[in-house]
Structure 1
Amino acid sequence: MLRTARARNKKTLFAVKLDYLQAKLKNIENEERRKAEAHKYEERRKAERHEKKMELLLLNLEKEKKNLNYVMYRL
């Protein structure tokens, strides 16, 4: 009887450790997924900011071109 109780306790202890390690692994996987999504989001935001900056530069260049054309016309 004592032998089977010890075996049952060992199995229970093993099952508890297994559950703990599986939960830990799942947490690590979730954290990695969250970091990857955050990185993708940050890259997308960086690209949007760059695109907006380029649009503003293009608008400024077009204004300068108009100004130069006006100056050339006046000469």
Structure 2
Amino acid sequence: MVNRIRLPEVGHRVVVRYLLPDGMATDALGELLSADAETVVVDGKRGIEHIPRETIVAAKEVPPPPAPRPLPSIEP
């Protein structure tokens, strides 16, 4: 079976949904480092994930993360 999921260009922020060996789905969210015919590599909060292309069920570009919220000031 050929996986025809289209990915954004390398360097973009993506979310990639893929299937785990038990059949459950999970997401990788982060920068797309590379993609070839066999493996997609995403650098996210869980570290660098090497995702077999045949396990991918969906992928898309996502906007940058929101800016961190400022810490509340503590007044005496």
Taking structure 1 as the reference length, what is the TM-score of the superposition? 0.20
| Higher RCO (CA 8 Å, separation ≥ 6 residues) | 2
Larger Rg: 1
More helix by share: 1
